[in-house]
């Protein structure tokens, strides 16, 4: 069975990566806070034709001012204090001292300096503004807001005072008060871009996205080329879930400022949000050329590599992140990556190092709990997970993992509230409903179990998301979770057909329409739409590969292969395209062609774990068993906790008739991860081959419980029941599959016909032994299931 190219889609939650924060764009505006004071100092300290010489105090103040501009506040403080010894009641000197102390984060001292200045000149606008800011920075919110209110009332007709005060208040996250000041300024001078821009931004930060959009749209009409305004509007649209609108604005912003890393980061984040990791990666790489040490860019790039299955490339990105940002979050990223690779010991070292920096780091605690539970250390796993939940009671992954752990220990009453909280946090998490129903059944809560099982059955019929370009974008926009998948597909199709009529020149609409046709089985119309897309896009490399991936996902392998071949004509050095071609040929069972394509992958690309698994599968099917075994053993040695590698190796052994090798491999994997559903499935297949049908039934039943979304788990169990004469149980398994409705399903009607025919002659209700011929038939069926797994 091939290793999946994509990894967990829960990395964000597993690593605790926060969404990109907006940066308050006040660099230019904040000058207004210092300009009045600095100008006065300059007037005192700058020689002119009519001034013979600066006073000694003024010389110290001028030197201090220069040092402040050079971001050396400690040195500036020394110069300013020297001047104040000569002129202790200097208004400029006291203001400069407060500014220097503020830069040193000595806010109490800054407040005291500004208070002294204000006592000398109670009407000084500059000093009042500085003192307001110092109060707020020092955490004396009540004092700061009271002074701000008094200042605003006194200067109610001064547009500059309201605007400057608004900037100060917004910088200190006092958005309600900032909005008031910006609105006062707007009333005095309607239609001023700078005022509207900052007012809209304040609304955005306050969480009022609709109002922010209305204000920012007014600002944009005054300055259509403002990159910051476009960026803020895109953020507001993204907050409202209108990602396409956001991306439209970001495209405009990038044309105006291609090197703006804020725009690049938000564009990439929105792409990642929809699973367009292939689109996000080059964007982030471009951003890092501009700012190689920006942590947010490095974190997003590592995540994109990770989730798109390029784990070997994710590691250098996260290691660079650790270099520029040696925080617990960076250690958590590396720990989660090594955990996914199956290198638990290395992962634990990074996670423990993260905890040394921050003992309350939830992602580190969660990942340690995950590893411990997979290693069978249930008490230790429970300890880590409970610590994580004490800090963050709403951490979805920790709740789910602890719930699974309690289920495994038969502590159903303790698992119940954990799983119920999970579905509150993520109502679309189909596997959680399955587990919740199982817990409720064990607690004899029949009605609740039936309800949650029905929810699982509905949700699990939705296609599983994949990390390929353009994937499931429309499903996100639809937001119609209450509709059945078929209803959703038909509505999507009708809307897309209308959208293409209105905007026939947009490639994305044609791609989504082709996908919608494939979802409802209208293959010829999908191909016609793809032909239109080819004409519009001029069959560019990215679109050609993307369409090939789409076709392969719907098992149109011959068409997909021609796409990948065409793409490789324009870019013969693309590892991804060669890999996709090899994978499609493998699934089409053209193993020689698959091997030829795989050999074109670069030496660096051949180190990827996904490639190694595919190569091993190909070699096994070509009868080159020893080579396949060697590759998989190397992968296990490198990643000893990778369940998929153990199963792939076991299948190679079974294919060659080496049941003892298969058993040793599966037991080795289960010793490290006792609850690995795929390995238990493998043990079920092995048990059949060893003539232990009763044991096989137990293993396969457990694999269905652990892998409720995988058709192979139901299929193997159903076939076993059928071959051992338990037709009714086979029928019940088929019904369970029908209710769960996993992706890439079976021909249920045809199976029912076979069961009906068999029931008349073979249903004994008791398990029967299998002949050697029947065992081989079962093995071939199981191997076919394994080959078609994701």
662-707 pLDDT, tens digit per residue, is: 999 999 998 877 667 788 899 999 998 998 888 988 898 888 776 7
The C-alpha atoms of residue 373 and residue 359 are separated, in whole angstroms, by: 20
Whether pLDDT at 742 is above 80: no
Task: Report pLDDT digits (tens) over 110-159.
Answer: 999 999 998 999 988 888 888 998 988 888 988 888 988 888 888 888 89
Task: Give per-residue burial for 540-568: e unless 16+ CB within 10 Å, then b.
Answer: ebebbbbbbbbbbbbebbebbbbbbebbb
Most distant CA atoms of the chain, gap in Å: 119
Closest CA to 64 of 89, 41, 90: 41
Q: What is the pLDDT of residue 31?
A: 32
Contacts (Cβ under 8 Å, ≥6 apart) of 720: 684, 688, 693, 696, 697, 700, 778
Task: Report pLDDT digits (tens) over 382-422.
Answer: 999 999 999 999 999 999 999 999 998 999 999 999 999 99
Q: Which residue segments constitute the domains of the chain, with CATH numbers given?
A: 14-190 (1.25.40.10)
Lowest mean pLDDT among 23-32, 722-731, 769-778: 23-32
Phi, psi of 183 (to 5 degrees): -65, -35
**pLDDT average, residue stretch 331-336:** 94
Task: Report pLDDT digits (tens) over 175-232.
Answer: 988 998 898 888 888 889 999 999 999 999 999 898 899 889 989 999 999 999 999 9
Phi, psi of 101 (to 5 degrees): -65, -35
The total number of residues written for the chain in this structure? 790
pLDDT band at 755 (very low <50, low <70, confident <90, very high): low
**DSSP letter string, 59-90:** HHHHHHHHHHHTT-HHHHHHHHHHHHHH-TT-
Lowest mean pLDDT among 23-37, 560-574, 659-673: 23-37
The C-alpha atoms of residue 136 and residue 453 are separated, in whole angstroms, by: 53
Closest CA to 674 of 710, 700, 641: 641
pLDDT band at 601 (very low <50, low <70, confident <90, very high): very high
pTM score? 0.66
Closest CA to 174 of 222, 151, 142: 142
**Which of 238-247, 602-611, 656-665: highest mean pLDDT?**
656-665
pLDDT band at 30 (very low <50, low <70, confident <90, very high): very low
pLDDT band at 456 (very low <50, low <70, confident <90, very high): confident
Structure tokens at 312: 């070997």
Q: Answer yes or no: are the C-beta atoms of 688 and 770 closer than 8 Å.
A: yes
Task: Report pLDDT digits (tens) over 297-307.
Answer: 999 999 999 88
The C-alpha atoms of residue 707 and residue 557 are separated, in whole angstroms, by: 26
CB atoms within 10 A of CB 745: 14
Name the DSSP letter for residue 607. Answer: G
């Amino acid at each position: 069975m091939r290793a999946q190219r994509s990894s967990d889609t829960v990395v964000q939650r597993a690593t605790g990566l926060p969404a990109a924060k907006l940066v308050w764009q006040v660099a230019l505006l904040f000058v207004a806070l210092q300009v009045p004071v600095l100008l006065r100092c300059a007037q005192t300290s700058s020689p002119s034709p009519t001034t013979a010489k600066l006073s000694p105090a003024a010389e110290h103040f001028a030197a201090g001012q220069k040092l402040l501009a050079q971001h050396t506040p400690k040195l500036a403080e020394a110069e300013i204090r020297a001047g104040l010894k000569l002129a202790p009641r200097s208004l400029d000197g006291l203001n400069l001292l407060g500014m220097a102390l503020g830069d040193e984060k000595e806010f109490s001292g800054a407040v005291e300096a500004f208070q002294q200045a204000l006592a000398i000149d109670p009407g000084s606008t500059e000093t009042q503004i500085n003192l307001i800011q110092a109060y707020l920075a020092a955490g004396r919110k009540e004092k700061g807001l009271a002074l701000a209110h008094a200042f605003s009332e006194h200067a109610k007709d001064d547009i500059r005072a309201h605007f400057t005060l608004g900037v100060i208040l917004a910088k200190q996250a006092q958005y309600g008060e900032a909005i008031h000041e910006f609105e006062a300024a707007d009333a005095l001078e309607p239609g001023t871009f700078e005022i509207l821009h900052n007012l809209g931004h304040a609304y955005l930060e306050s969480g009022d996205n609709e109002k922010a959009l209305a204000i920012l749209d007014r600002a944009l009409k005054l300055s259509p080329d403002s990159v910051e305004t476009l960026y803020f509007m895109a953020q507001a649209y993204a907050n409202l879930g209108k990602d396409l609108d956001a991306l439209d604005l970001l495209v405009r912003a990038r044309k105006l400022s291609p090197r703006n890393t804020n725009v690049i980061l938000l564009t990439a984040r929105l792409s990642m949000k929809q699973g367009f990791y292939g689109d996000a990666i080059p964007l982030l790489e471009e951003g890092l050329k501009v700012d190689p040490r920006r942590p947010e860019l490095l974190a997003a790039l590592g995540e994109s590599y990770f989730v798109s299955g390029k784990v070997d490339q994710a590691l250098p990105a996260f290691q660079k992140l650790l270099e520029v940002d040696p925080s617990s979050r960076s250690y958590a990223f590396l720990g989660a990556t090594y955990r996914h690779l199956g290198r638990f010991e290395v992962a634990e070292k990074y996670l423990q190092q993260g905890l040394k920096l921050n003992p309350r780091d939830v992602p580190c605690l969660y990942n340690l709990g995950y590893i411990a539970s997979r290693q069978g250390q249930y008490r230790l796993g429970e300890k880590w997970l409970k610590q994580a939940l004490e800090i963050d009671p709403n951490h979805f992954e920790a709740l789910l993992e602890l719930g699974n752990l309690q289920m495994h220990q038969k502590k159903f009453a303790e698992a119940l509230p954990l799983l119920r909280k999970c579905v509150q946090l993520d109502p679309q998490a189909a596997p959680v409903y399955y587990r919740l129903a199982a817990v409720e059944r064990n607690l004899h809560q029949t009605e609740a179990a039936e309800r949650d099982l029905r929810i699982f059955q509905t949700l699990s019929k939705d296609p599983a998301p994949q990390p390929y370009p353009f994937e499931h974008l429309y499903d996100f926009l639809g937001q119609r979770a209450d509709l059945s998948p078929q209803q959703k597909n038909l509505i999507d199709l009708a809307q897309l057909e209308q959208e293409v009529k209105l905007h026939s020149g947009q490639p994305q609409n044609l791609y989504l329409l082709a996908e919608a046709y494939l979802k409802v089985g209208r293959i010829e119309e999908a191909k016609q739409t793809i032909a239109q897309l080819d004409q519009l896009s001029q069959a560019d490399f990215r679109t050609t590969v993307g369409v090939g991936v789409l076709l392969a996902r719907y098992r149109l392998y011959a068409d997909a292969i021609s796409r990948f071949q065409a793409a490789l004509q324009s870019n013969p050095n693309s590892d991804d395209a060669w890999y996709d071609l090899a994978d499609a040929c493998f699934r089409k069972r053209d193993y020689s062609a698959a091997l030829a394509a795989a050999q074109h992958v670069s030496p660096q690309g051949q180190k990827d774990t996904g490639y190694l698994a595919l190569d091993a599968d190909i070699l096994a099917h070509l009868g080159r068993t020893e080579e396949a075994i060697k590759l998989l053993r190397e992968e296990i040695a490198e990643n000893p906790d990778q369940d998929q590698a153990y199963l792939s190796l076991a299948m190679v052994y079974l294919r060659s008739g080496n049941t003892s090798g298969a058993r040793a491999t599966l037991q080795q994997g289960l010793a490290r991860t006792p609850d690995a559903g795929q390995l238990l499935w493998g043990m079920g297949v092995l048990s059949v081959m060893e003539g232990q049908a009763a044991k096989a039934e137990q293993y396969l039943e457990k694999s269905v419980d652990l892998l409720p979304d995988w058709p192979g788990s139901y299929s193997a169990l159903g076939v076993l029941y059928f071959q051992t004469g338990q037709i009714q149980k086979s029928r019940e398994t088929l019904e369970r599959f029908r209710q769960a409705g996993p992706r890439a399903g079976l021909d249920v009607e045809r199976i029912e016909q076979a069961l009906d025919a068999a029931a008349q002659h073979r249903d004994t209700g008791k398990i029967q032994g299998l002949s050697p011929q029947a065992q081989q038939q079962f093995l071939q069926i199981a191997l076919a299931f394994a080959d078609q797994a994701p």
